[in-house]
Chain A
Amino acid sequence: MKIAVCVSLVPDSTTKVKIGNSGKSIDENGVTFILNPYDEYAVEAAVQLKEKQGAETYAISFGTDKSKEAIKKAYQMGIEKGILIKSSSEDYDNYTVAKNLSDVLAELKPDLIFFGKQSIDFDGLAIPAMVATMLNMPFVNVVTKLDINVTEISAEREIEGGKEVISTSMPAIIGTQKGINEPRYPNLKSIMASKSKPIEEKAATYSGNKIEIISMALPPAKGKGKILEGGVASAAELVRLLRDEAKII
């Protein structure tokens, strides 16, 4: 079996976001970049399948050189091969990412392709579906449970207030949600080994963005709130404020 995991490098979730000089992106000074947290579940799912039934595993990323860090983290968790589709700039949209990934995946022909459900920078939840549609493959995103029986797939997908049970079959694309597994912590040996493991580089095949960020802004600053200091005695006053001032109840 051949399994691919698409990974991306994103700012750490503790990042205090500041807008950079271009006014269109964040200031990257002092930002720690990590493997997209949801991709960890995707990598773990791939590695578990490899351990259970044997598989050739690939981590694939589209981005600039620094995206190699995402692939290295995937190596640390047990992925064997890596491909960086090299972008010449950070100025790419969801369509460009999806198209580049699809072109490589179309050649590679994996039986299963895992993504994290969304990357925590753009928060689109769209790339797995876009890639799947470009490749004419079935996809299920936000998967919390995955059962595979030869080529038949049964997945549970999280929706508002509950879940859907979905049937599909390989080859397929799965977007992983927190709860599907517990991503392993790499051991020292795999961390050391990942440092020197080669990553194949491919040139980007597509660069025509359909959308463009023309500016980025911080949320409007909030005025100071009314913080009551009377403890229990303030409860009635709080309710009064919510009813009469905020008119929220």
Chain B
Amino acid sequence: MAKILAYIESKENKFKNSAFETVSEAKRLSQALGCDFASLVISNQSEDELKVLGNYGAGEIFHINLDEMNSLKGGNIKYSYSAIAKAVSEFAKQNGFTVILFSGTAFGKAVSPAVSILTDSALVPDITKINVDGGNISVIKPVYAGKAFAEIKVNTPNLVLSLRPNVFKAEKTDSDNATIKKIDITSLNLSADDFTTIVTDVVLSQGKLDVAEADKIVSGGRGMKGPENFYLIEELAAVLGAATGASRAVVDAGWRPHSEQVGQTGKTVSPGLYIACGISGAIQHLAGMSSSKCIVAINKDKDAPIFQVADYGIIGDVFEILPVLTEEFKKVL
């Protein structure tokens, strides 16, 4: 009988949408398999803050206090990936969890493979769908930067999965079943020796929404002609509450930072809305954004490959169109 554990990530003691997506999917999976599921959170959140997960289907929520955990090591430590992987694995093994879900965030992608080895589990990272047939689980994973999708079957009962953010549905429920269970840190066989990698500082670009997390992205390419014109992208993004993205060409030219690069050697994104401005649509760029739910292209070249994947578009001059488009959005938002 399978038993599901959803590791629910909090950042700065807050849950991101990907956390709710993971809880909801764990709930759906437990219903499909006819088995139990629990959530595990390692943070400094209060019981009230944790109970929010109940709105998305969480029942039992196990909690490890992060400060208590870090005190096993002491010193300047925000958190330790190695200690967290050990803690999650110990908890899973002690309690017979066989299927462990993580969000496929930077954190989840770092911890889940370590947990898979420590729990002797199969690992499928960055999945976009879970299928259940009888008691068997298969999953879908994008491969070759999303140019193809692999259907993957698992050959062992123990499985670790990381879920691609912004793909699974966070489903709000009316139920009120959330119960918080505090885990005694001494029960997990953790010692200072498990803290082999330590995060001492987290530096975030203030106020800037990351393309990997945004539900709307406005991206600029070489058609923007120079870094001085990207204010047009930024203004549209601001009105939409979107992140700003960039093609590889403009990042390599030094016009935009690498953190904004969307594409095969940049970030793979699947937002609800992707607006590509002055981007021709090279294969590698498309690989990074083609699974966006709605793609809009603005380009003066009617033969630009981007129009092959666009749901909507305007053929025309970005410099004329962007300011007017920004005004039009302002009117309706």
Contact = CB atoms under 8 A, between A and B. Distances in A.
Contacts of A178: 258, 265-266
B155 A162 contact: no
Contacts of B240: 249
B258 A231 contact: no
B149 A219 contact: yes
A120 B122 contact: no
Interface in B125-183: 125-126, 138, 142-156
Contacts of B149: 216-219
A161 B113 CA distance: 22
Contacts of B116: 126, 130
Contacts of A151: none
Contacts of B138: 214
A95 interface: yes
Given A165-B201, A166-B197, A13 B320 contact: no
Given A130-B123, A133-B117, A242-B294, A248 B272 contact: yes
A169 to B, nearest CB: 8
A164 to B, nearest CB: 5
A32 interface: no
B2 interface: no
B328 A246 contact: no
Contacts of A160: 105-106, 210, 212-213
B284 A14 contact: yes
A178 B284 CA distance: 15
A188 interface: no
Contacts of A141: 109-110
Contacts of A164: 78, 199, 201-203
Contacts of A217: 148-149, 151
Contacts of A123: 126, 142-145, 268
A150 interface: no
Contacts of B33: none
Contacts of A236: 324, 328
B283 A13 contact: yes
B82 interface: yes
Contacts, number: 256
Interface residues of A, number: 78
B186 interface: no
A177 to B, nearest CB: 9
Interface string B47-91: 000000000000000000000000000000010011001000000
A219 B198 CA distance: 40
Given A212-B155, A225-B310, A230-B314, A161 B210 contact: yes
Contacts of A248: 272-273, 293-294
Interface string B299-333: 00010000111111111110011001101110111
B290 interface: yes
A222 interface: yes
A138 B294 contact: no
A231 B315 contact: yes
A122 B143 contact: yes
B315 A26 contact: no
Contact of B325 (A229, A239, A246): A239
Interface in A67-102: 94-95, 98
A167 B316 contact: no
B313 A227 contact: yes
A209 interface: yes
Nearest to B114: A133
Contacts of B316: 230-232, 234
28 contacts: A13-B265, A95-B122, A123-B126, A123-B142, A125-B110, A133-B113, A139-B114, A142-B106, A161-B205, A161-B210, A163-B203, A164-B78, A166-B198, A211-B152, A214-B151, A216-B151, A217-B151, A219-B291, A226-B311, A229-B302, A232-B316, A232-B324, A235-B314, A235-B328, A236-B324, A239-B329, A239-B332, A242-B312
The 8 A-B pairs at the shortest CB distance, nearest first, are namely: A231-B316, A210-B122, A162-B204, A129-B113, A126-B113, A138-B196, A133-B117, A165-B201
